[in-house]
Amino acid sequence: MRVVESKLCAVLALVMATPVAMAQAETDDGWSGKGEMGLVKTTGNSETESLKFGIQFVKEQEQWRHRVAADALSAEDDGVTTAERYGFEWQTDYKLSDISWVLGAFRYESDEFSAYDNQQTLSFGYGRQLLDNAAHQLVGEIGVGYREAELVNTGLTESGAILRGLLDYSWVVTDNTEFSNRFLVESGSDNTFIKNVAGLTVAMNDKFALGFGIEYRRNSDVPPGVDNTDTITSANLVYNFD
């Protein structure tokens, strides 16, 4: 596990360097975000206990909104790497009104233990605030884009147009407890990728919280011997940069 921790620390330093610097330098200019790390149990193409790191940042401006997220997951079992995944997302929204926007979104993922060594998508679309009150918020987005993906073990690349859909829901259960669920689908002729992340966060104070999450991932088209579905169950310590 020492090797895993060393690798994760190195990756964490890389993926966090730019966003954290942005947050520290521009907190008064609209940046907010959080970082988390925790224990993870995975099932599916990799079955192991490991560590996970992740960051998310949002910058709100009068006409624009920028979102950035990065994560890393790695584990070893008896000296053999059993899980290694790195991901990065960037989205920019141009606000049409208080409740609607047009968007451009980029997503990259490297995962040697799934059906694809890496996937990257670039999409454009429309988003809308479907629900917004003191307890509940729901955002919906729909769009089109382009996807490239390298098949595991073969090096062959699939590419083509995709449809992208997203639903992002949050519920303030109590003063210090929040439930969230984010559902993403990217569907093309070669593959449909689905990712659903459900989480419960319990705040301990203004800066720290405990987070519990279940992540479901599915690729519809996979090579023989590779599972369609992976699940990640995690318990995390969350730090708010706000």
Q: Are 199 and 179 in contact (CB under 8 A)?
A: yes
Number of Cβ within 10 Å of residue 69's Cβ equals: 18
Containing domain of residue 41, as a range?
A: 2-240
Q: For residue 240, what pLDDT is reported? A: 92
| Interacting residues of 204 by C-beta distance below 8 A, sequence separation 6+ | 176, 210
CATH of the domain at 125: 2.40.160.40
pLDDT in tens, the chain (242 residues): 444 445 445 444 444 444 444 444 445 567 899 999 987 667 787 666 788 899 999 999 999 999 999 999 887 776 677 778 999 999 999 999 999 999 999 999 998 778 888 999 999 999 999 999 999 999 999 999 999 998 877 778 999 999 999 999 999 999 999 999 999 999 999 999 999 999 999 999 999 999 999 999 999 988 777 888 999 888 999 999 87
Query: Is the four-CA dihedral 170, 20, 186, 125 of positive or negative sign?
Result: positive
Overall domain count for the chain: 1
Label residue 160 left, alpha or beta by phi (over 0 means left) and psi (-120 to 50 means alpha). left
pTM of this structure: 0.84
Q: For residue 8, what pLDDT is reported? A: 45
Q: DSSP labels for 147-214?
A: EEEEETTT--EEEEEEEEEEEEEEEEEETTEEEEEEEEEEEESS-EEEEEEEEEEEESSSSEEEEEEE
> Cβ-count burial of 149 within 10 angstroms (0-12 exposed, 13-18 middle, 19+ buried)?
buried
